[in-house]
Structure 1
Amino acid sequence: MNQEQRVMEWIENHQDEIIHFLQQLIQIPSVNPWFFEEPAPSKEKDLQQFIAGKLEKLGADIEIWEPVADELKQYEGMAGYYPGRDFTGRPNLAATFGKGSEGKSLLLFGHIDVVMAGSKWTVDPFEGQVIDGKMYGRGTVDMKGGVAAMIMAVEAILRSGFKLKGPVIVGTVVDEEAGGMGALDFIHHGYRADACILTEPTSLTIAPLCRGILWGKIKIQGRSGHIEMPQADWRDGGAVDAIKKARYILEHLDRLNEKWAVSKTHPYLSIPCQVHVAQLNAGEYPTSFANEAEIVFNAQYLPSERDEKLVGGKVKKELTDFLREVSESDPWLCEHMPEIEWLVDADCAETDVAHPFVQTCVQSLKTIGEEGKIEGLGFHTDMGWPVNVGIPTVNFGPGDPSLAHHSDEFTPVDEVIQAVKMIAKTIVDWCEIEEA
């Protein structure tokens, strides 16, 4: 029996152990505190300590530290930097196996924070219950399924009686769900590798790129007045309905999206970049015209559109110019120019599909019986900073990403096992192994 067969046999024989480990991750509710209106203790530290305990038993060299926002000021204006963010009790973790070995190195990377459970669950969101071959729970998809798979892949190799010829770093970070400052800090901390698998959910496809995401809020001014009474011209002090002005802008957004549907595409993305309206906030009383209105939107951008700081500045300018041009065609808006308040700029990145590491991952996937499909991700992941410092990175993990953040979020158990096999196979081929 060769090396690969021994590792795969270990995985086959320890499927219950793999799934139990994922259940244990789900059962620690590491909800990002950004989702709570009032400050609340985070369980991220509890989960990192649990992971550290497991990795320590496997012989890893472990470092745990809390990011410090003031130490990252040099990244102002770049992805993941948020001044003053508090990471007390919210540590990052790095565990290195085969430290000092001379072979090619690999970073297995993932975030351990999750969004809040929310409502309308039919099962306990923090139990990890398995029903009909699917594990349910907050984070099974995004992205504790992937974190469990990457850790168990390393364990499968070590428990099969091998040691690594090249180092493997297991990196688990916080704060991805609120902007990615944990990943920025991890890279700032100095961790590097010859390649990286970010185990975000991809339904077991290889995703060598992700899109950038801009969240913004268009603020539109009106002038309130009695909604049931005749109104003078606005130049003479009459009311102006901010909702009607918002509709005017929305109509122009539809036309902008028609242009983007042609100009902002990528061969590995199934849908074009668009400006999606996520929220409409307006009005105060049923008897008054809206004094102001807000359009909250989500706009996507491509790696080719990044600015000099590797984020979405060019697209921000494009949207700001668009809003100004639209407003200049309306007399009220021209004199009361709407403004965009930028909320989030989540970066993007891309690795050339011809890179040897991408092809190694494709072959690993084919070896375990999967198609080996390459497909980009329409959402943001933490791959930006590894790519920015020259680490070729792919996203790969179990679970359907469209189920992330849903009530009754679930991942098929067999996908988790397949992910363990693929990652283990990639370690065998990329880092190489030998008898312990």
Structure 2
Amino acid sequence: MLDIFSDPVDLTTALVDIPSPSHAEGPIADAVEEALRGLGDVEVLRHGNTVLARTNRGLHTRVILAGHLDTVPIADNVPHTRGTDAEGRDTLFGCGTVDMKSGLAVILHAFATLHDSPELARDLTVIAYEGEEVSSEFNGLGHVETGYPEWLAGDLAILAEPSGAVIEAGCQGSIRLRVAAHGTRAHSARSWLGVNAAHLLAPVISRIADYRPREVDIDGCLYREGLNIVRLEAGVATNTIPDEAWLFVNFRFAPDRSIDEAMDHLLEVLDLDGEEHITHEVDDAIPAAPPGLSRSAAAELVDTVGGEARAKFGWTDVARFAAMGTPALNFGPGDPGFAHKRDEQCPVHQITDVADQLRAYLTAG
């Protein structure tokens, strides 16, 4: 049985040692569900391989603690090991130590030890969800949003995303556009008989390369936008003029833009209206989330951890909460630069620090 009362470091190792790559979260979901139901006096819901629990003590605010159960495919790094990192720090190694079983351990431990404690100052909802590392159609938090939206209602949501034990507020949005050029195939020895699709893309590529992204300060968090080609393909054979060329362009935009505003800006920059042989289609578009640090519940958490918060550049599930009007922050142990790597690792002190700071916040009157 998973002991969610155990020290968060020990709980991290126990979670890492339960393999749970995406689409195979059943065993870890079973273990988490059994542990939460064992608390006895909380409301528990299981939906697929997503497990939710909440207190209902009538406290003045509700805080949602969320973390995903799945990992990327294991790379000979389960079970965990423990040793020292390059800086000589006591460190856990293994798949999920960063993304995000250390964060999951912290929030499960907080829920278990505080759910019936007289020290608890805020009602709690904990969500351990499936399918975060794969296509959004499999995302368990998205399924909860559709089927049980009342479980996502709260005054603040804290996602245990790896953030180096520093609050990362909100997240940037992302649009991925497929831009394709359509030419005429010909032998390269008779190139005048064709139209080179790769050459047709050249003006678009130049506009992207010349673009100067904004830096935007929101609630004291500096967001850096970016516009980049992330994939580019063309070619038939080494002696053939290509009749098709295409690219993916990715626009990462700050939370002061809606998706529609970001799309309008992207299309204005690409300036495709006059390119009769070029078409485009949206491959993906997800909204940004504002930091929400002006909201009292979020501001109190920032104060508790020493007043430091920074912008989250990558997209996370905080955007789901922001869309419902709930401020949401990323706060968890581990350097996200080690996420998904064979040598994935998390310093032990970060797990302890986040656990202590989260408990201080949840018990603050």
Q: TM-score range by the shorter chain?
A: 0.7 to 0.9
Q: Could you tell me which residue of structure 2 aligns to residue 92 of structure 1? A: 50
1:145 aligns with 2:102: yes
| Amino-acid identity (%) | 21
The CA deviation at 1:271 is 5.6
Q: Show CA shifts across 1:297-323 (max 9, x none).
A: 3211122211xxxxx232223323433
1:20 aligns with 2:10: yes
Note the residue ranges of structure 1 that are not aligned, 5 or more in a row. Answer: 1-10, 33-41, 67-90, 233-237, 307-311, 329-333, 367-371
C-alpha change, 1:241 and 1:126, in structure 2 (3 Å) is: farther
Q: Could you tell me which residue of structure 2 aligns to residue 416 of structure 1? A: 351
Q: Could you tell me which residue of structure 1 aligns to residue 154 of structure 2? A: 193
**2 CA distance for matches of 1:49 and 1:174?**
12
**2 CA distance for matches of 1:224 and 1:363?**
63
Select the residue among 324, 335, 338 that pairs with 2:276. 335
**2 CA distance for matches of 1:215 and 1:241?**
24
Amino acid at match of 1:421: D
**1 CA distance for matches of 2:340 and 2:305?**
26
**1 CA distance for matches of 2:255 and 2:26?**
33
1:215 aligns with 2:171: no
The CA deviation at 1:249 is 1.8
C-alpha change, 1:351 and 1:327, in structure 2 (3 Å) is: closer
Please list, as runs of the form range in 1=range in 2, the aligned pairs for 1:148-159 lying within 5 A after superposition.
148-157=105-114
Amino acid at match of 2:362: I
Amino acid at match of 2:180: K
**1 CA distance for matches of 2:92 and 2:286?**
29
**1 CA distance for matches of 2:330 and 2:200?**
41
Q: Show CA shifts across 1:163-222 (max 9, x none).
A: 645421111222333237432332340212222211111112122211111222222223
Higher-strand-fraction structure = 2
Q: Are the counterparts in 1 of residues 172 and 223 from structure 2 also a CA contact under 8 Å? A: no
**2 CA distance for matches of 1:58 and 1:168?**
14
C-alpha change, 1:393 and 1:335, in structure 2 (3 Å) is: closer
Select the residue among 239, 255, 277 that pairs with 2:210. 255
The CA deviation at 1:269 is 5.1
C-alpha change, 1:392 and 1:321, in structure 2 (3 Å) is: closer
With the length of structure 2 as denominator, give the TM-score of the two structures. Answer: 0.86
Q: Are the counterparts in 2 of residues 101 and 165 from structure 1 also a CA contact under 8 Å? A: no
With the length of structure 1 as denominator, give the TM-score of the two structures. Answer: 0.73
Q: Secondary structure at the match of 1:357?
A: helix
1:292 aligns with 2:257: no
Please list, as runs of the form range in 1=range in 2, the aligned pairs for 1:297-316 lying within 5 A after superposition.
297-306=249-258, 312-316=259-263
C-alpha change, 1:290 and 1:204, in structure 2 (3 Å) is: same
Select the residue among 316, 320, 323 that pairs with 1:385. 320
Q: Could you tell me which residue of structure 2 aligns to residue 182 of structure 1? A: 140
**2 CA distance for matches of 1:266 and 1:116?**
37
Amino acid at match of 1:28: I
Amino acid at match of 2:200: K
The CA deviation at 1:397 is 0.8
Q: Could you tell me which residue of structure 1 aligns to residue 87 of structure 2? A: none
Q: Are the counterparts in 2 of residues 201 and 400 from structure 1 also a CA contact under 8 Å? A: yes
Q: Could you tell me which residue of structure 2 aligns to residue 52 of structure 1? A: 33
Q: Are the counterparts in 2 of residues 252 and 326 from structure 1 also a CA contact under 8 Å? A: no
Select the residue among 8, 22, 44 that pairs with 1:62. 44
Q: Secondary structure at the match of 1:375?
A: strand
C-alpha change, 1:187 and 1:247, in structure 2 (3 Å) is: same
The CA deviation at 1:158 is 5.8
**2 CA distance for matches of 1:216 and 1:405?**
25
**2 CA distance for matches of 1:108 and 1:202?**
15
How large is the RMSD of aligned CA atoms in angstroms? 2.6
Q: Are the counterparts in 2 of residues 224 and 239 from structure 1 also a CA contact under 8 Å? A: yes
C-alpha change, 1:108 and 1:255, in structure 2 (3 Å) is: same
Q: Are the counterparts in 1 of residues 224 and 254 from structure 2 also a CA contact under 8 Å? A: no
Q: Could you tell me which residue of structure 1 aligns to residue 199 of structure 2? A: 244
Q: Secondary structure at the match of 1:93?
A: strand
Q: Secondary structure at the match of 1:286?
A: coil
Q: Are the counterparts in 2 of residues 154 and 424 from structure 1 also a CA contact under 8 Å? A: no
**1 CA distance for matches of 2:37 and 2:272?**
59
Q: Could you tell me which residue of structure 2 aligns to residue 361 of structure 1? A: 301
The CA deviation at 1:224 is 2.1
Q: Could you tell me which residue of structure 2 aligns to residue 167 of structure 1? A: 123
1:265 aligns with 2:186: no
Q: Could you tell me which residue of structure 2 aligns to residue 116 of structure 1? A: 73
**2 CA distance for matches of 1:157 and 1:390?**
26
Q: Are the counterparts in 1 of residues 292 and 328 from structure 2 also a CA contact under 8 Å? A: no
The CA deviation at 1:393 is 2.0
